[in-house]
Amino acid sequence: MVSQKTQNNEETNISENTNLKDESASNTGADNEISAKAASAKLALAMELVTQAENMLVQARQLIQTTVSLPLPKITRTIESADAGIDDSRTIEGVFDGQQMIGPDGKHYSVPANYASKSKLIEGDLLKLTITAKGAFVYKQIGPIARRRLRGVLMRNQAGHEYSVKVHDRLYRVLTASVTYFKGHEGDEVIILVPENGESKWAAVENIMKSADQSNETRSLEPEAMPSFPSNNSVSSDDLI
């Protein structure tokens, strides 16, 4: 009789242990499933944040290209020469607005028209200005933006001192120095460069083709017709004297 009870107790204990193991395994599986779902949710959230950040970066770049008239974030820095006791030059980075360079403090710095024409600068291009200890201004193009070509007709204002190019129903202002070099006249066909993205008020003249009642000669913008500039696409105010 005792032996029978002992056997029954052992069977009961085995059954209870088996049930506990099954329950533990079930709980572990449920915990793993919850952890997997949580990890998946976190990954989806991270991907969404990355996408938002990329979109904001694109919008920021477009904003810089299309609203260069506004003060820019601080991108200026002062660079001292290796021999600071002799040369105390200062470097400022800014954005070209079609005529001048706008610094991060909102100040406008004059850009030589011949240099802007030769380099075919357009709104949004990044420039670096080095002001030497002697006060000379040395410009260098460091960040050209993407461009696209347009074909239009050269127009002249009533005063006769400013030019623009009409493309369909839109006018783009161009530097007089570029028109003068090409010997352009009102009515000539003009190839201009403008930012690939966004809107701009100014354009760079790439070429001018004479109208039918004038010579059909097309000139290219060659260095010898302009002041001789360094080959690194930079210019010093001393070169313009």
Mind listing the pLDDT tens digit for each residue in 212-239? 665 544 444 443 344 333 434 555 544 4
For residues 37 and 233, give the distance between their C-alpha atoms in angstroms, rounded to a whole number: 56
* pLDDT at residue 221, rounded to an integer: 43
* pLDDT at residue 61, rounded to an integer: 63
Give per-residue pLDDT as tens, 129-169.
999 988 899 999 999 999 999 999 999 987 778 999 999 99
* pLDDT at residue 43, rounded to an integer: 77
* pLDDT at residue 127, rounded to an integer: 96
Question: Which residues of the chain have a pLDDT value below 50?
Answer: 2, 69-86, 216-232, 237-241
Note the pTM of the prediction, 2 decimals: 0.55
* pLDDT at residue 50, rounded to an integer: 72
* pLDDT at residue 151, rounded to an integer: 97
Residue of 53, 229, 73, 61 lying closest to 145 (CA atoms): 61
DSSP calls for the chain: -HHHHHHHHHHHHHHHHHHHHHHHHHHHHHHHHHHHHHHHHHHHHHHHHHHHHHHHHHHHHHHHHH-TTSPPPS-------TTTTT---EEEEEEE-SSEEEPTTS-EEE--HHHHHHHT--TT-EEEEEE-TT--EEEEEEEPPPEEEEEEEEEE-TTSS-EEEEETTEEEEE-HHHHHHTT--TT-EEEEEEESSS--SB-EEEEEE--TTS---B----GGGS----TTSEEEGGGG-
Ordered strands of the 189-195 beta sheet: 170-174, 163-167, 147-156, 189-195, 204-209
* pLDDT at residue 161, rounded to an integer: 80
Task: Write the CA distances from 27 to 42, 142, 189, 213, integer angstroms.
Answer: 23, 62, 79, 91
